[in-house]
Structure 1
């Protein structure tokens, strides 16, 4: 029988641990799954809370904040299981959410990662921004979801209740095969945070595995629990990591188009921030490009490794532009793919 471990990466999340960890433990007991917390160098009372209220939860204590990508990579080195169920600390898990996920991984050995639907904790009938009902990217690398186009989220009326393969699933509730995670080197630690799950899903597909959404499973996500929305830091990470992901993983013809079009679109994004009086975000876009260019040699080596070992190409890339579609008022996923 396959073993599974729910692993929460925590950084100064004492409030969320106290609020949501009891539900995670209850769901794990129901399914016979273990629970662990990887603490990413917290300076609040998280570790004391775990020792006092949750002494049976396995704790991996890191000496610093290595980000989402590096924190998970380092923490999972100390955790043994067949399946890793990676969960944000700000995720509410109803009873029964795990069974459909485990059934999918048990039944489909070519599924590398699977995830539940994400709904909002505040507006519980609506999809949550981070992953909704599973994600795609367009030809230029912009991510979007069934149930969320850019910043526009939809109400969940069961319109995306079909289990299906897609391009990526959210790191907020990311369930994967431990051996595959390790074989692919885990998340790209250079990313620190943001886009790392999309990058890993792309690499899984290049390795011949599928990525899947299981809508019978639903969890609720606060969102922005670690890094608030649209801060300069988040703008930098999203722009830089998205460019790095495309450089590493995209086929040459797609990369050539991106190299021509994306500089203009990112300049437009920067100028939009400037027009809004958000100079810090304006500068963050240029810092993202500065870092991306500085990474060229490292990314070239990663690209050779990723593309050189591929046995398949990624599917489920939207051949149009989600930005153009959005600007023309089409702000729901519908039957796009």
Structure 2
């Protein structure tokens, strides 16, 4: 999936072309306007390209690929355009899924340009935030090469295509962020497991296609976390976290006024996710989409074979202490 990836998508395509396992390559171009289309057309890998008429975000691009008639393979890999997988990446993930027939997804070990681990899986915090796990390598069964995790980072993962579709596919409405954790929730509700494969290494130019820490980043993160909980989590957990988010939003101006020299409103220097206006927009967008989210929750319930409470307890037990 690419959007304005002219400066880095070639490196990703080079790395995919170097994979040791046969594969088909589909690039979803999110209406790039920076010359990306020309780069894709000229690349020697000659990828199939699905060009969308508008930028639908990472989630929208994944959903479009899943709906594409050309995707009829047993496995589907998701890969950010700012990643470079090692040559044996795909083979390592495929072999892991072949060994673990109950696993619907196999996640990668994503590292930065400095070699530091960025993500080797995703866990859930007590308030339902997805958190990148960086130490699951130490917990891996060295004889088997995998570690159990709640979820995966969607920037580099291999999924069973049929399991993904049976679980409802990708939530295109999320645009960007939490589409992977929402998908992990639904795969687990369908009684699948998810594994992390530390030997499947991917280098990630983190933030090349987005701006972590920006206003949009926090808007999408906060909105999509709550939407994911409404869709997938136990009702008590979803209600608690939506209520908590609203209560903190209401209290923020009061906290500012009680500080020396404090004032209400969006104080400069405060992180975006603790600025009242952004949080009010999150609540407004959540309220506007609530009827649709509740319909989607029912659809998730109809497909589930494992209680939400059981998945929530399992998720909490997988997280490292603290």
Find the counterpart in structure 1 of residue 262 from structure 2. Answer: none
Q: Is 1:159 paired with 2:138?
A: yes
Find the counterpart in structure 1 of residue 316 from structure 2. Answer: 318
Superposed, 1:13-162 pairs within 5 Å as: 13-27=5-19, 30-54=20-44, 56-78=46-68, 79-121=71-113, 123-124=114-115, 126-128=116-118, 132-147=119-134, 159-162=138-141
**1:85 Cα deviation from its structure 2 partner:** 0.8
Residue range with higher mean Cα deviation, 248-257 or 60-69? 248-257
**1:218 Cα deviation from its structure 2 partner:** 1.2
- Whether the 8 Å contact between 2:139 and 2:147 is mirrored in structure 1 is no
Q: Distance in 2 between matches of 1:200 and 1:138?
A: 17
**1:215 Cα deviation from its structure 2 partner:** 1.0
Summarize the Cα distance change of 1:265–1:159 in structure 2 as closer, same or farther, 3 Å threshold. farther
Q: Secondary structure at the match of 1:294?
A: helix
TM-score (ref. length: structure 1): 0.81
Q: Distance in 1 between matches of 2:297 and 2:99?
A: 32
Q: Distance in 1 between matches of 2:203 and 2:236?
A: 39
The alignment of Structure 1 onto Structure 2 pairs a total of residues equal to 301
Find the counterpart in structure 1 of residue 260 from structure 2. Answer: none
Find the counterpart in structure 1 of residue 212 from structure 2. Answer: 229
- Whether the 8 Å contact between 1:62 and 1:75 is mirrored in structure 2 is no
**1:91 Cα deviation from its structure 2 partner:** 0.7
Supply the RMSD in Å over aligned alpha carbons: 2.6
Q: Secondary structure at the match of 1:14?
A: coil
Summarize the Cα distance change of 1:336–1:145 in structure 2 as closer, same or farther, 3 Å threshold. farther
Q: Distance in 2 between matches of 1:259 and 1:70?
A: 25
Q: Is 1:296 paired with 2:290?
A: yes
Q: Distance in 1 between matches of 2:271 and 2:128?
A: 25
Q: Secondary structure at the match of 2:8?
A: helix
Structure with greater proportional strand content: 1
Q: Which runs of 4+ in 1 moved over 4 A?
A: 265-273, 278-281
**1:10 Cα deviation from its structure 2 partner:** 0.8
Q: Is 1:238 paired with 2:221?
A: yes
**1:171 Cα deviation from its structure 2 partner:** 0.8
**1:259 Cα deviation from its structure 2 partner:** 3.9
Superposed, 1:162-241 pairs within 5 Å as: 162=141, 163-241=146-224
**1:203 Cα deviation from its structure 2 partner:** 0.6
Q: Distance in 1 between matches of 2:249 and 2:161?
A: 36
Q: Distance in 1 between matches of 2:99 and 2:251?
A: 46
**1:245 Cα deviation from its structure 2 partner:** 0.6
Q: Which runs of 5+ in 2 are unaligned?
A: 257-264
Summarize the Cα distance change of 1:268–1:101 in structure 2 as closer, same or farther, 3 Å threshold. farther
- Whether the 8 Å contact between 1:140 and 1:262 is mirrored in structure 2 is no
Q: Distance in 2 between matches of 1:230 and 1:19?
A: 25
**1:172 Cα deviation from its structure 2 partner:** 0.6
Summarize the Cα distance change of 1:195–1:267 in structure 2 as closer, same or farther, 3 Å threshold. farther
Q: Is 1:285 paired with 2:285?
A: no
